Every structure is written in C-alpha cells, then in structure tokens.
Amino acid sequence: MELKVLLEYLCVQLNALIYLQSYLDIQTLRLPKVSTSEVDNPRKSFRCACVLRWCRSAKRFNIRKPRLTKTATERIVFVSQGDGIPRESSPFINNDSMERGNIYEGKNMALFEEEMDSNPMVSSLLNKLANYTNVTQGVVEHEEDEDSKRKEIKAPRMGTFIGVYLPCLQNILGVILFLRLTWIVGTAGVLESFIIVFMCCSGTLLTAISMSAIATNGVVPAGGSYYMISRALGPEFGGAVGICFYLGTTFAGAMYILGTIEILLKYISPNAAIFEGAGEEVMLNNMRVYGTCILALMALVVFVGVKYVNKLALVFLACVILSIFAIYAGVIKTAFEPPNFPICLLGNRTLVRDGDIPCVKYYEENNMTVTTKLWEIFCGSPLLNATCQEYFILNNLTEIQGIPGVASGVLFDNLWSVYGDKFAFVEKQDQPSVPVLEETDVNIKHYVYSDIMTYFTMLVGIYFPSVTGIMAGSNRSGDLRDAQKAIPTGTILAILTTSFIYLSCIVLFGACIEGVVLRDKFGQAVNGNLVIGTLAWPSPWVIVIGSFFSTCGAGLQSLTGAPRLLQAIARDGIVPFLHVFGHGKANGEPTWALLLTALICEIGILIASLDSVAPILSMFFLMCYLFVNLACAVQTLLRTPNWRPRFKYYHWTLSFLGMSLCLALMFICSWYYALVAMLIAGCIYKYIEYRGAEKEWGDGIRGLSLNAARYALLRVEQGPPHTKNWRPQVLVLLNLDSEQMVKHPRLLSFTAQLKAGKGLTIVGSVLPGIYLDKFTEAQRAEENIRSLIGAERTKGFCQIVVSSTVRDGISHLIQSAGLGGMKHNTVLMAWPQSWKHTDNPFSWKNFVDTVRETTAAQQALLVAKNIDLFPTNQERFSEGNIDVWWIVHDGGMLMLLPFLLRQHKVWRKCKMRIFTVAQMDDNSIQMKKDLQMFLYHLRINAEVEVVEMFENDISAFTYEKTLVMEQRSQMLKQMQLSKNEREREIQSITDESRGSIRKKSRSSPQCIGQDVDNLLPNDIQEEEVEIAQLIHDRNTASRSTGMVKSQTAIATPDKIQMTWTKEKLISEKHKNKEACLSSYKDIFSMKPNQSNVRRMHTAVKLNGVVLNKSQHAQLVLLNMPGPPKNRHGDENYMEFLEVLTEGLNRVLLVRGGGREVITIYS
C-alpha cells in the first residue's frame, strides 16, 4: 500500500515538471493561434492530459501548483463542464470548435448534437434566463442582439413599496391637489366634484388593471407604457401612442413649472414680479419669463446628471406626504378650534382683502366719524361727502369666518355647483344683497371674480392631470426585484390610496371651508394665502413650501423621463425622422432628446396658464390609457397562446369599459382638443405605416389581423364572388436571370397601375432544380423580388417555386397559389421575345402550355408584349389613347382593365377608345348605337368606333407567309426527328456492343477487340466523333446499371469493343443521309394548309386595321385567340400572335376567364 502511494506521488511530481515545461513553452514561444487541425497534436494533447491529472492529484496531496503571471493566467483558463472535470481553454486553440466539442463531449445527447447550434440545450437556455437583466430604457430591446448589448449591472433590489407604490404616489399627488382642488370643489360643488374625481379615478383604476395584465405577461424591460403598448399593439399604434405619451409627459413638465411659478409669485414672494400691475396679461408675462428661466435651470440639472434628480426624489416625496398629513391635521383641528380667517362681503360679493383692513365703511372714534380704506377705495376719497359707487352705498359690509370648521354644517351649502362666466363676481348665495340695474363705475379689481368661464367639462379637463402618474411603477420595471408582482400590487394600491385622499379631501374641503373661499382661486379674500394652506396645521407655510418643492420635483421628473421615452422610440427605428434623437452623450444620456423636450416644454410655458395647459396633457394621457385598455382587451379576446398573465384579476369587459371611459373623458374634457390629439396620432400612425421600419413584435393587432383574415377567408370560401365584387386577383409570373434578378421589372409597375381594383397580387417565379440544392438561390430571389415590390409600391405576396422544370413550376403556381377563396383569377406574364431563337426551344412551348392551363383553370390571362416599353410609376402620359379592340366577348375584361388603368396617375389623362369589327352581314350603325348604350349602362366613358372588315381574296403575301411558317415548322420537326433517330441508332449500336462484350467476357477473361475509330476511314472519322462519344456514354451508363443489377464485377475496358463491320456502319450512314435529303426536298415542295392560310389571313388583315387606327396609341388591348386543340400547331400559333401584334409599341393581349366580370346592374 505504501509503495502504491509512493509511485502515485512520483507520478504527480513528474506531471508537475511537464506542467512547468508547458508553462515555459507558452511564456517564451508566445505561439500564435493554431488551427483546428493542430489541436490534435499528440504531444500537446498528452501535455494537457498530464496537466489535468496533476490538478486532480495535487488536490489530494495538497501540492500547490506553480504561480503564473497575469499574462499566463489570462491565456490558460480551466473551465468545467459540470461533471467536475476541468478542461483547458486557450487562446491558441480555436475556441468555437473547442466549446462545441466540450458541449457534446461526455454528454448523452449525441443524437441531437448536429442541431445544438440552432437548438441549444435546455440547461443552457435556463442559464441565460437566470442571468437575464432588464436593459435600461432607451436601449435596444432585449430581443435584438441581447447577448452582445447587455451590460453587467447590479441586481435590482427595489420592492413593491419603494419601487412602485411611493413613485406612483409622488406622481399622482401634485400641483392640481394643492392649487386647484379647492377651487373645483367650490365651483362644481361637493356632489359634482365627487363625480369628477370618481370618473377619473375609475378610468385610471381600470387602466391599471389592464396594465397589470400586460406587465405580468412576460418580462417587461424598462420602457414603461410605450414598451407595453408597442409590443401589444404593434409599431404603428406603439409609435403613435408613444409620441402622444411623450408629448403628454412634456406638457406635464410645463404644467408643473407653471405651478411652481404660481406658488412662487402668488404665495411666497409676490414682490418678485418683474412686470408690475394688476392685469391678467401682466401676470402671464411674469409666468413666461420666470417659467423660461426655471425650465432652462431644470434642463441644465438634468443634463449635468440624472443622479442628482434621483437623490432629490425622496426629499420631494417627503414634502408631498408631509403636506397631506398637514391637511388632515388641520381638518381635525377645525373641529375644536377653527383658524381665524375673516372674509369681508359687500352685499353678497366677496372683497379682496390685503392686510388688516377693517370690514366696515366707517367707524366712530372720539365722537368723530372716520372713513376706512374701503370707503376711500369705493368712493375715491376719504371724505364723507364723496360720491361713492351705487352698489357700495346700497349694500352693507359683512364679515364672516372663512373656515368655520368641520362641525359648522357648511357642507350642505357647498353641495351644489356654482358655475359662472368670465369676470363673474364670487358671491355668497344666501347673503342678502341689493342689486343695481346698471353699474358703470364698478372697479372689478377690488372684488374676487372668476378669471375664466367655468362649466363641468372644463373642470374635468383641469382635474384629470391630478390622477396621471400611474405608469411610474412600470417605468421603473428594470429596477424592481420582482416586477410581475410589484407593478400590479404597487400601482393599484397607489391608485386606491390617492383616490381615497382625493375623495376625502373633497368632502372635507366642502365641510370645513366657506364656499366663497373655495371659489377664490388665488386666495385673494384671505390675504393672498393659498386656500388649502389656510386649512393646514400647524402653519399655511407647510403646504406652501411642500407644494413648491413637490411641483419642482415633478417638473424635474418629467424632464428626466420624457427625453428617455423619446430616445426609446427613436432607437426602435419605427419613426425615421426621429432617428437623430436616439443619440446622446457617451454614457447614453439623451442630449438631443432633452433639447427637443425643452423646446416643446417652452411652448407650454408660453401659454402661461395652468388651466389652459392641463386639458392638453389630459388628451395625450387619456389616449395613452385608452390604448393600454385596448391592448389588454385585444389580447384577451384573441386568446393567443402567449397571453398568460400572472395577474388574474382582469377581464376584457373591464378593459373595454376603461377604454370607453377614457374615450368619453377625452370628449368631455374638450372635444376639439380630442379631435386634434386623435388627428396627430392618426397622422403618426399612417406615417409609420408607409415610411417606418417593419417590425415584428408579435403584437395583438397582428394577431387580430390574422383572426380577421381567417374569418374572412372562411366567409369567402363559401362561394365564388358576385360579378359586382369581381376584381383582378393577379398572379404575376416573373422571369429571373442567373443572378436571381428580375428580367422585366416593369411588369410589376404595370401590376401596380392595375391595382385600382384593390385586388390580390401574388408575384411568383420558378427556379429549375431541386429545392434542397436551390433553397439559397430561392431565398435570394425572394429577397430581390420583395425589394422590387417595395420599390414599386405594390402591395402583394411573393412565392418562389423550385421545380424540376420551369414548365412544371408554372403549373404548380397556377394551381396552388393563394389560399382558400383568396386565389388569383388572373395571370399576368410577359411575351416571350426570344421564342424564335434556337437556343431557347422551350420558351414558346411553356408559353402555349401556360395559355392552355389558364383556360382550363378558368382564369383570365394578360400577356404584355414589349413590356420594357411600358411606363414606370413615375412617368405621366399628358395625352394619348388607350385603344380597346373588342373582337369577341370575353366577359368584359377588355372594358374593365382600361377603367382600372385610368384610375392610376400614369394613365389618368389618356382617353379610352373602343373599336369593334363588323362583318359583311352586320349593321355597323346599329352596332355603334348598341355599344354606346352598353357603355352608358356600364358607367364607362369611351369613344366608340365600328371598323368594317369585308371579305376579300387571300393575298400572295399571306400565302407566302403561311408557306414560310409551315416550312420552318416542318424543318424544326425534321431536326427533332433526326435527333430522335440518331439517339435510337446510338441505342441499337450500344445494345449490340454490350451483347458482344458479354459473349467475349464468357470466353476470355480479357476483352480483346478492335476500336471503333480504327474501323472508320479517315474521311468520315471526324464526322463520327460525336456519335462515338455518345455511344461511349450510353454504353458506360448501361454497363454500370447492369453491374449494379447483377452484382457481378466485370472489368470495364477503356475502349469500346465493337462487333459490327465497317461496311455496315457506312451503309447505315448513307441511308440516313438519303432519308434527310428526301425529307428536305419534301419540305420545299410542300403546299400550305388551308386552315393555316385562313388564320394567317385574319391575322394580317386585322393587324393592318389595328395599325391604321391605333399605331400611335399609348396602349392597345386586344382579344387573345386561343391555342389550337392540336398540339402539333403550337409554333404556328405563336406566329399568328406575332403577326397580329406586329408594329405596335405596347400591346396587352387579353384572354377572359370564362365568366362575366362587369355588369350593368347596381
């Protein structure tokens, strides 16, 4: 036993020496990277194995391995595969192949190892998901190059309370609560104010439920509502709503800044005003100047560093919470000791009170009547005999308590609304007053009055921004420990909390504060104090300072969040003109987006009225909430397999109710603002649809489209469309060159010009070969065709078929293109210009067979001749004609196609002319009248002309042209026949030679014979080289087949052994030559077929008539005659069509599908 241990110890030391040698090699040689083939080096493999054994043994004997420098440790890394065995990974080894080998080595998944690159192991997938970190807002989404873009960040630690609840609380409770809620309660009354708050809070609560369902349906990277809406509704809706949400957030920043200035100039430091005076315009100018300065200061703070804004967030939140507690404490205190805020009334009108002015006209002092400041204000002089205003003389001054307390019963006086016009006095309803018929000398600045016209819907628009901010939690999803749990819980709890605060404040304000004080927007009746501050305990300054810092913080948060939202939209690439705003500083801060945000925010500052800015941002936020509800409702109704939210307390009816409520609130707030907001969103939607990048996010609108398409296809499948619904559903057959580029791109231009019918378009092409060998070329061809479709603005689908022959591929497209009822009914193809060329013998055969198949499938056929002369979509015809030659009735295709073409701007200015042909027995005058009446009923404007074609003798030109055509056809057949006979002769010679080889193989193991080249004389030997080669090929192929079948190994001779004689071969050759000569003599002595002569006569005569009338037409549409039933005349059919269209620039041959496509009935 001790010997065994000693030997093992010596082995370890030996391994250590080998390890040191490896280390010295690495340090001194600094070898470059080696290829995969060098990895198998035996010495290096042995060294690696020894090093690994040393490591395993060193642990047992506590032997410390030699120290390595930093360079060496960076270059030798020991990795573990999970089986406890470390393996070496070195920069000198190809890491890709090494890693792949490590994955497969020692595993039980060898059956799947060829697919490991595309289908990773489950353990690898789970490891990636476990290490997933949410990307920050504005960074490219995790689904695009996530592994390369992700940065190592600290694990998120925020929970529900800190990460969601408190941010939502801070964003919801804001400027409206402190500056406008008391005024809303006083104007609308407690009941209507309760309705306003309940409607708005219900809308946000329903939206929060929908948002919770979306947010818990998978991992939501930081990006907030924009991310959720865009991924749920698609890039078009996402971009439109995202920009609206950005504008709403930006205008919210302007509103918060205006609130900050109002608190500063009204309640903190009124003397700080730059422009002196009491007019409304003076105050607005002060707001504009101070607002611009504070906006610049806040933008600078955000630009310098967002971390300072985040550090101050808790301070601002503490101010908000402290202010809320001060309000409730003040309410409780009023029950025992109401604060002393006397209000002075003249009659029933509320007077502005500044300082300790006594609320009397005069008083007795030392037996003398002394006038007060109010007497001097309304009489213009302190003298008792001064002329005073009539209303001042007729009415008495009354002083009442502004805050009578919660136990005073003032709640019942404040239940009902008191709306008024602009400049209406704030009056106490139950106070006696003597009215004055005409007041000419009234000084309105001494009364408390309404600065704007008030009504219910306007108050809704002003109040709604106070319930926004519910997205604050979802915007921080990247910083949450468990976003799927924290977002629903924190958001809904924050909404319930704030809703309770708002509703309770409405009741408490109505129960504690006098109505005239509530309607005093700026606290002029209480010595210029903030109205809500008069209720607070221990001091009004708690509310003033708290609201000031709260609004400052909210403004900074808006200026921080809005640029990042714009940067996220820009980096998505869905709105091209916003691309520049995706860039920023080196640390990712959105500099350009911040600049644009500040400029838009300045627009709100220049409006200068908080009451005017609030409805604007209400529109944008309501639209955002509307689409959040829509996204949840769509996903729920579609029941897509991926819709599995962890939040279960949702239903599509709740989402639909929230969507309807948001839409109603939009029009309640301001119907014209709602229309403008919807118009902006619609314009952005259409812009993204036509100019934006294509994104596939698995959105609900795409799923809705699929469901709608499925439903529509099932409906269409029920039967063929009615004639009134018929439109050309076009299958465009394109030819590709060797580079898979389209040969005739103007065929797609013509297709786009036909799309006035808004029908289906399928662009198809055929690649000859086997799909397994040609799938790369097929993908490249599809990409080229799709790019051309996009360039031509053609809406359609692309379908590439790989088939053994082009003929079969076209047949497959005609039979199977489309889906269900959405199949093509029209085939569009180009005329084969090279059909006469001998190097392309199959083009005309494929063409004629395509014509036959479209006829059999009852599909219309359009053949564009000289397609390269057709106009592009950028060209415009300022004049010209579209001539229709209506020879036979084809279901109305010839009438419908020009009408559709003239809807396009290329052909819009062309006139339509219809020609028809009258025979000898026809009444041409009556035909013209009938045709005009038919076009009138079809509602088609066109000139009508009847062309008379009388019977006459067949000309010598026609006879000679037919003869040349048939001779050419016969020569082609003879050439094909000679080729077939030649192949049969080769086959017979091959069979004889194979038989001779078998006989000689039986008699002798070595085949000895005479070569065929030696049998031939020198004068014919060169002529038979090709025949001999073909014989050799055939013989080799046949012999190989025979060997496989018989499984007998026969030695293959290098030369072909023949048994025929030289005389036999020469005689066969002369025999064939004589047969060919005789057949050629028959060709030149033949007479043309009378049927072909008559057809050629028709083609020549009709071509002459068409040339006479339509040679200068922009486009000629012509009935396309059908192919002959006998396939032996196909080449003659091509010649007839060539003669028929000879001399015309642009021709569209039209063949109907066998059904009516146009009708005179409604």
3-state SS, one letter per residue, for 39-74: HCCHHHHHHHHHHHHHHHHHHHHCCCCCCCCHHHHH
Q: What is the DSSP string of 227-273?
A: HHHHHHHHHHHHHHHHHHHHHHHHHHHHHHHHHHHHHIIIII-GGG-
Higher pLDDT, 639 or 135: 639
Pull the structure tokens for residue 530. Answer: 């903030």
The DSSP letter of residue 449 is B
Does the predicted model carry a pTM greater than 0.85?
A: no
Question: Is 894 within 8 Å of 1116 (Cβ atoms)?
Answer: no
In this prediction, residue 77 has a pLDDT band, given cuts at 50, 70 and 90, of: very low
Question: How much is the pLDDT for 47?
Answer: 46
Give the pLDDT confidence of 272-320 residue by residue, as tens digits: 888 887 677 888 999 999 999 999 999 998 888 777 777 777 888 888 8
Give the pLDDT confidence of 551-592 residue by residue, as tens digits: 998 888 888 888 888 888 888 888 888 888 887 777 777 889
* 3-state SS, residue 351: strand
CA 394 to chain centre: 71
Question: How much is the pLDDT for 64?
Answer: 44
Question: How much is the pLDDT for 754?
Answer: 84
Helix H or strand E encompassing 565: helix 540-572
Give the pLDDT confidence of 151-175 residue by residue, as tens digits: 444 444 678 888 888 888 888 888 8
pLDDT (mean) for 1059-1080: 53
Asked if pLDDT for residue 714 goes beyond 70, the answer is yes
Question: How much is the pLDDT for 659?
Answer: 95
Q: Is 329 exposed, middle or buried (0-12, 13-18, 19+ CB in 10 A)?
A: middle
Neighbour tally for 587: CB within 10 Å: 7
Start-to-end Cα distance in the chain: 108
The residues with which 918 forms a beta bridge, in sequence order, are: 948
In this prediction, residue 382 has a pLDDT band, given cuts at 50, 70 and 90, of: confident
Higher pLDDT, 225 or 46: 225
Higher pLDDT, 731 or 30: 731
Q: What average pLDDT does the structure give for the chain?
A: 76
126-140, 583-597, 690-704, 1074-1088 — which is least confidently predicted? Answer: 126-140
In this prediction, residue 1099 has a pLDDT band, given cuts at 50, 70 and 90, of: confident
Amino acid (one-letter) located at 950? F
Higher pLDDT, 1110 or 722: 1110
57-71, 375-389, 470-484 — which is least confidently predicted? Answer: 57-71
Asked if pLDDT for residue 431 goes beyond 90, the answer is no
Give the residue from 731, 728, 749, 753 showing the smallest Cα distance to 829. Answer: 731
pLDDT (mean) for 911-937: 84
Asked if pLDDT for residue 998 goes beyond 50, the answer is no
CA distances from 1143 to 84, 529, 915 (A): 84, 94, 18
839 vs 832: CA distance, rounded Å: 13
* 3-state SS, residue 803: strand
Give the residue from 706, 712, 709, 711 showing the smallest Cα distance to 640. Answer: 706
619-623, 829-833, 859-863, 1015-1019 — which is least confidently predicted? Answer: 1015-1019
Asked if pLDDT for residue 616 goes beyond 60, the answer is yes
Handedness of CA 680, 685, 689, 693 (dihedral sign): positive
448 vs 351: CA distance, rounded Å: 6
% residues pLDDT > 70 (the chain): 70
Asked if pLDDT for residue 102 goes beyond 70, the answer is no
Asked if pLDDT for residue 1101 goes beyond 60, the answer is yes
Question: How much is the pLDDT for 198?
Answer: 95
3-state SS, one letter per residue, for 491-519: HHHHHHHHHHHHHHHHHHHHHHCCHHHHC
Amino acid (one-letter) located at 977? L
673 vs 671: CA distance, rounded Å: 6
Neighbour tally for 106: CB within 10 Å: 11
Asked if pLDDT for residue 73 goes beyond 90, the answer is no
The residues with which 882 forms a beta bridge, in sequence order, are: 912, 1115
Higher pLDDT, 264 or 1069: 264
Neighbour tally for 42: CB within 10 Å: 7
Contacts of 877 (CB under 8 A, 6+ apart): 871, 906, 907, 909, 910, 1114
Give the residue from 62, 988, 188, 70 showing the smallest Cα distance to 518. Answer: 188
In this prediction, residue 328 has a pLDDT band, given cuts at 50, 70 and 90, of: very high
563 vs 590: CA distance, rounded Å: 6
Tell me the backbone φ, ψ of residue 901, rounded to 5 degrees. -65, -40
Give the residue from 1055, 1062, 1052 showing the smallest Cα distance to 1009. Answer: 1055
Helix H or strand E encompassing 861: strand 860-865
Question: How much is the pLDDT for 67?
Answer: 42
Residue with tokens 């053994």: 804
Neighbour tally for 220: CB within 10 Å: 21
Give the pLDDT confidence of 505-553 residue by residue, as tens digits: 999 999 999 999 999 999 888 888 899 999 998 888 999 998 998 899 8
In this prediction, residue 145 has a pLDDT band, given cuts at 50, 70 and 90, of: very low
